[in-house]
A and B are shown apart, each in its own frame.
Chain A
Amino acid sequence: MKIQRKYLIIGVAVLVVLALLLIIFLLFRNNLRYPEEPINQTSLAVNEKEIALGNTTLQDGLEYPLFTVSDTTKYSFVKSFAEKLNLSVASSEEGEYYEWRSEAGMLLYSLDRNTVIFELKEGLEWSEVELTKHSFNRFLKTYFGEDWNYVLFDKEKRAGGEIVYYAKRTINETDVIEMREHKGQTDYLALKDGKIIYGKLMLTVFTPSRYKVPLVTKEELSSYLLQANYPKEIYPRFEAVSNSLLGKVDYLSPEFVKVAESIDNCSTKAATVIYYYKSFDQKLLTPVYKLNMDCDVSYKKEVYSIPSTAYVSAIGLDYLNISE
């Protein structure tokens, strides 16, 4: 009896220790930590233009997780999709792009950004009269096997009668991914007479990494934005000046680029945090401030105000590896 009790005590003690270890493990396993080394940020280029933040409020002080850009392609799903649409292989370069074409339409899977673009003469039957964010989820689930979530942020009726719906994929439930596209969308689908007739979809898989980063503070960012080598990109939004400036300078003319390059005196009106995806080999998906700005451009000695968008790194220099 004494011996039995001894073993019982030992057994209970072991169980308690195991339970404690389990609890500790469960408590801490999902905890992200800050990167030990500065990260290489490859999605944003550098731009010597200065940007003023003004009175804009930033979400500084928050921490955002980093995501790994998976290098797995969706080739088998794309191929299956193309075959379903009765498209034939037209050309390809292994690992670079795959193109299907036939009288039924076309499909291009481009691996520089891991996007698939398709145009269908007859369209794909779709049971909805209007598309919603759930439509994108359903489309990607049906044809590409992924359960991704989206926000629908714009739609546009085109001359052919179709309505193009623009969406951005969300990540981490609430955060939005944006691409350097027409309206910043990651995906769009065009619906006409109950059929999807064309679209462009981003098929990259993002997986959570072990790391998080604190967003750079407004004070720090104000000074970083004055540096030529801080990651930032500025894009003038010419659609806003189609009736004024674009009436004077044709986009095909050599002057157009000079006008675009003359962009200056950018002042920020609003800022949001997004995840910026630019290319399939960028390795990491990092938080970026998207700045809504007013800038100036010059044409024939006259200055025009033009709304512009800037993408600037939201990661401070403490965690960022940038070239001098």
Chain B
Amino acid sequence: MPKSKQYEDAMSSVFDFIFEQSKKSPTKVKPVKVTGVDGTSEYVDAIAATLEAPLLFVNNNTLEAFKDATDIDFAAFQVGGRKSDGIKLNVNDLKDMLSDPSGFVNKKFSKIEGARKMQRLAWAGEEMKGVLGAVWARQHKLDFDTQQALMSSAKSSEGRTDVSATEMAKRTEFLAEKHFGSGGSVLGKTDFERMYGKGPKADKAYKKYSDAYAAFSKTQDVTSKDYKDIVFDRDLYAVLEGVEIRGKAQSASTREERMGYISAASMIENSRAFANMKEYISQQKDARKSHQQEIDRLKKVPGSQSLIDDHRARIREIDSSLGAARSFQLGDKLGEWEGAFYSYKDYVFDGNLLPNIINGKFFTSKYNKIAWLQPSETKAGLLGLGMGDLEVHYGKRTGNKFKDIAYDKMNSLYYLSPVTWVKTLYNGEGFAYMMLKSREKFEKSLATMMGQKLGKLTNGDDVFKLLAGNDKALLNLLSGKLTAAEESLLLSQFSPELQAVLKNPQASKILSGFLKKDSRFRKLVDTFSFASKVKAKVAKWFEDKVGKKVRLKIATALLKSKLVRKYAGKILGQWIAKGGLQLLIKGLVTTITSALGIVGTPLASAVVGVLTWIAMDLVYALSKPLIKGVIVVLKLMLFAGLGFIAIGGAFIFSILGQHSHVAPTQIVSCSGFSGTNPIIDPDNPNNLPPGGPLEPFVAGSLPSGVECLLGDSAYNCSQGVYGTYSHKNSPAVDLTNVNYFHAPSFCDVADCQVTYFGPVNCTAGYAGGLLKFTATYEGNTYEFKLIHVDSSFSVGDSLSGGERVARVMEHSETGSACSSGKHLHLETKFNGAVVNPYDMMTSSTAEGGFGCSVSLCP
């Protein structure tokens, strides 16, 4: 037998053993003690460890780690807003995706839609803040520009769309041109001190202003990155707009108007960040205190009532803006507290601390939001190794020696977990960590010896990159194997300080030891990260083969609209190439605002915001069915091209979602049978299908408002009429992803009645309930027969329009005796004739059907 075949058989046996043992309870596992392991091969060591302690590696946590390894997204659709808004088609979802594409996409979209609702609320909240700011400005008789400025600066930096960022950039550009352009007047430091009063605020604002002026003067190209950096700088906008509005305050005709402009400027200057909000609140409190002190002083001065009233009015304004500022602050704080609360709940309480330490979630800031308890930072793009997105968890650095030690200790738990080491088998992470630790140790010992930090020895060059890149040559140098010329060439790459190290006998001994160790670790990382590199390649292949095709399909559908074609064609082209529904939505919004003629007007900002949401809804509505359709295509592609059939017949059976009604003890063939084949039934000599032949479904139109009786989702037909499994003699369809069956909406004005309900059994056991009901509308009678359902209705009960007649039972309720999964068995008649339920369910209401979205039956 060839050696490779022997190896394959041996590995198969090992895996069979591991997975067999994993099914047993821990006390019944029989580990295998392996002898003759001499520790020279990591592979042999790993296998020996697995055989001796199978459950250590094959448990839920480690299986999760394996699952992560195969976590390949092969198509992704990014929706505008946040990165988390997207639908991804992932290898781990393959089974669900192929067995129930509609259900799968619906679930993905429902998660996004939930998040979008939140974003929509957040966006609406932002818009409301802006509107309130604008209303306040109007009440104080401030001009339109100031109202506009308050409206747009209220949007938070987190949730801003590109549209509002662009609007603000345009305004910054205008103001910058006014100050810094030819004919403009540049302000000096004294101007800022006059506006803000002498102190850090004036200094900070002036610095921002003068830096922007310097940059603006240098940059002539408006398309350059430098120019864009200037105009998209929110802090610069806040300063320039603040200056603009304070200028209006100076020329205000009344004290009230002047105070209004100053408040508006103050709000805009401080709306940027939470840190500024704190400062703003503190300043406002100080200002309030000084006004109050002034009131107390003026009370003793006769004839000062009007001045006292002015100060009181000012205090009222300050109180009102303080209230708003505090609610911004509270909102931010609540978010922070909420994150920490859920982290405490999930990761410390509920007994989850240890499992989350073992599975690594504790060390990831994505899950553990308790800042002080989060011990790790991550280093990505490992030093000079080109490992792509390989990340290593590292103890957090705070500058406090004791905290840093504590975080290091906690972090080291992550690398003691078997889960991490299983992950290491496919991404090399554990070896990368050991390599980093070794480098740290080397750096420390060398620094102690040489009396200074290694970084100083290389004048800031990446010393490890240098060392790693020249390790073989350096080892040869240290062992005296290089010629003088070679030595000179090598040393010329290093700084004089590092050369001194190389010449120091003790230091070079340490260096030699380190280089060998580092080289070994790098090989291990390289070897064991092979799988994750392959994963990236596979993802790219899928993106090229599948992702682009899907986007092309969606774009084609959208381009059917003339408006979209006219205005957004170019953007669609970009989107097909690069992906991201954000671009696509931009195209649609551009289309609509152009058609309305409102681009560039102050109204555009809020309107565009609303349109963006509408456009998203539109794109969702279009893309959902298209993505589902593409998954069907993908299914065919995979089966045709990638040999998934090789996985095994049982797998195909389950992922195609076909349910067999053949129960374990049911006889389906009998070798001892000696009758005719096919059997001739004396009661049915012509072998007509039971219940009569299938008639075409032809019906008159139903009234408007009639909806799908299955619900408003999309459904899957897993077996059709007279199918190849249990429907050989049954004019029925099996539908999955159905929860409830409803009475037609016309039952409010028509006669709809339950005609039968009772339990059913197959020979192997209970199969749930069987319900029949009729619905007669304008002389036409629809009959429905549902099996595997539960219902609270009985014979003779009348049904109301849209009423839930029956619930499709969960698989465990029916005891799995008669079928292999949850599904609805549906038969239909129309005016007494047996018709294909698929046709009745999916035909439009104009054709007398119920307009349901059901995949084609196999």
* A→B interface (CB under 8 Å): 44-47, 90-91, 96-97, 99, 101, 106, 108, 110, 112-113, 117, 119, 122, 156, 158-160, 164, 182, 190, 193, 198, 200, 233, 235-239, 242-243, 246-247, 250-257, 260-261, 278-280, 300
Residue B795, interface by CB 8 Å:
yes
Among residues 806 to 851 in chain B, which have CB atoms less than 8 Å away from a CB atom of chain A? 807, 810-813, 815-818, 825, 827
Chain B residues lying within 8 Å of A108, measured Cβ to Cβ, are 739, 810
Query: Is A193 a contact of B690 with CB atoms below 8 Å?
Result: no
Given contacts A254-B691, A278-B792, contact A198 B763 (CB under 8 A): no
B758 located at the interface, meaning its Cβ lies under 8 Å from any Cβ of chain A in the complex = yes
Cα-based distance from A270 to B425 in the complex (angstroms): 68
Query: Can you give 27 contacting A-B residue pairs, CB < 8 Å?
Result: A45-B795, A47-B795, A91-B110, A96-B804, A97-B739, A97-B807, A108-B739, A112-B804, A119-B810, A119-B812, A158-B815, A158-B816, A182-B813, A190-B812, A233-B794, A235-B758, A242-B761, A246-B762, A252-B726, A253-B690, A253-B729, A253-B730, A254-B691, A256-B760, A257-B770, A261-B756, A279-B792
Which 5 residue pairs spanning A and B have beta carbons closest together? A45-B794, A279-B792, A254-B691, A238-B761, A198-B812
B302 at the interface (CB under 8 A from A): no
Most chain A Cβ neighbours within 10 Å, of B730, B739, B817: B739
The answer to whether B759 and A182 touch across the interface, beta carbons within 8 angstroms, is yes
Is B739 within 8 A of A99, CB to CB? yes
> 0/1 per residue, B759-780, Cβ < 8 Å to A?
1111111110010100000000
B403 at the A interface (CB under 8 A):
no
Measured in the bound complex, the distance between the Cα atoms of B503 and A212 in whole Å is 105
Are B761 and A246 in contact, CB atoms less than 8 angstroms apart? yes
Q: Mark each residue of chain B from 267 to 289: 1 if its CB lies under 8 Å from any CB of chain A, else 0.
A: 00000000000000000000000
Residue of B nearest to A280 (CB): B792
Q: How far is the CA of A256 from the CA of B738 in the complex (A)?
A: 24
Q: Do residues A160 and B110 form an inter-chain contact, with CB atoms below 8 A?
A: no
B107 neighbours in A (Cβ, 8 Å):
90, 101
Which residues in A have their C-beta under 8 angstroms from that of B767? 251
Bound CA–CA A237/B759 (angstroms): 8
Task: With A45-B797, A238-B759, A243-B763 as known contacts, state yes or no: A300 contacts B740, CB within 8 Å.
Answer: no
B25: A residues at CB distance < 8 A: 193
Asked if B756 and A251 sit within 8 Å, CB to CB, the answer is: no
B315 lies within 8 A of chain A by Cβ: no
Assess the B759–A235 pair: CB atoms within 8 A.
yes
Residues on A with beta carbons closer than 8 Å to the beta carbon of B785: 257
Contact of A112 among B732, B766, B807 (CB under 8 A): B807
Q: Is B683 an interface residue (CB 8 A)?
A: yes
Given A238-B759, A251-B761, are A200 and B813 also a contact pair (CB < 8 Å)?
yes
Contact A239 B758 (CB under 8 A): no
**Residue in A252, A278, A300 whose beta carbon sits within 8 Å of that of B727 in the complex:** A252
Contact mask for chain B residues 50-67; partner A; CB cutoff 8 A; 1 contact, 0 none: 000000000010000000
Does B390 lie at the interface of the complex (its beta carbon under 8 Å from any beta carbon of A)? no
Cross-chain contact B794 with A257 (CB below 8 angstroms): no
Contact between chains at A112 and B792 (CB < 8 Å): yes
- With a cutoff of 8 Å between Cβ atoms, the chain B residues found around residue A44 in the complex are 794
Residues of chain B contacted by A237 (CB below 8 angstroms) = 759
B787 beta carbon closer than 8 Å to chain A: yes
CB of A285, distance to nearest CB on chain B (Å): 14
Chain A residue nearest to B792 in the complex (CB): A279
Residues of A contacting B807 with CB < 8 Å? Answer: 97, 110, 112
How many angstroms between the C-alpha atoms of A46 and B753 in the bound complex?
A: 13
- Complex CA gap A113/B804 in Å reads 12
User: Which residue of chain A has the shortest Cβ distance to B107 in the bound complex?
Assistant: A90
- Asked whether A236 lies within 8 Å of B758 as measured between CB atoms, the reply is yes
Residue of B nearest to A238 (CB): B761
User: How far, in angstroms, from A145 to B764 measured CA to CA in the complex?
Assistant: 37
Beyond known contacts A198-B810, A256-B760: 10 more, CB 8 A cutoff: A46-B796, A90-B107, A112-B804, A112-B807, A117-B812, A198-B812, A236-B758, A246-B761, A252-B729, A254-B690
Contact flags (1/0) for B137-156 with A, using CB distance below 8 Å? 00000000000000000000
Q: Which residues of B contact A252 (CB under 8 A)?
A: 661, 726-727, 729-730, 732, 787, 825
**A160 in complex: contacting residue of B691, B760, B816, B818, CB < 8 Å:** B816
- The residue that B729 contacts in the complex, of A46, A246, A250, A300, with Cβ under 8 A, is A250
List residues of chain A with CB within 8 A of the CB of B110.
90-91
CA of A44 to CA of B683, assembled, Å = 38
Measured CB to CB, the closest approach of chain B to A74, in angstroms, equals 18
Minimum CB–CB distance for B805 against chain A, Å: 10
CA distance A194 to B792 in the complex (A): 33
